[in-house]
Amino acid sequence: MAVARKKSDGGIKAMMDFHCLTESCEGVVKFSLAEITGRDFQAVCPKCHQPYELNADLTDKLKRMLALVKAIGNAEDILGSCNVAVNVAGGSVKIPYALLLTRLNTMITLNLGGQDVDFHLWIKPSSSNTFN
C-alpha cells in the first residue's frame, strides 16, 4: 500500500501494522500512517475482514507519531552528523543515527480495545539518498 507524499513531508512513506486481535486469525492489519488523518479511517484485517476503528486518543497518538516521522524527514540534512555512542570494553563506538533509523525495528505499544497492541512502524524513504 504505497502512498504518495508531498515533498514537504520529507518524502517519507510511513506504514503501520499490527497483528489482528481476532483469536483464531493470523492476519496482519496494515495501513499508511498518513491515512489516520482521514475522517472515516478504518483499518481492516485482510484475512478475517475484522474492521478496526481508532478512538480519538489512539488517533491522536498516531498523529503525533506521524509528526515525529515528518520531523525526522525534515532533519535529514543533519542526520549524517548525528551519532549514538555505545560504550564497549575498549571505549565507545559511534553508530550513525540515520543507520539506526533504517536498520532497527520501530514499534509503539498502544491500547486498542482494552488490549496492549504492538504497532510496527515501517519508514521507507522515497529517495535513495534519504538516510544514506
- pLDDT above 90: residue 115: no
Q: What is the mean pLDDT of the chain?
A: 80
What is the percent of the chain with per-residue pLDDT over 90, rounded to a whole number? 27
CA distance 98 to 80: 7
CA distance 16 to 1: 11
Q: Whole-prediction pTM value? A: 0.70
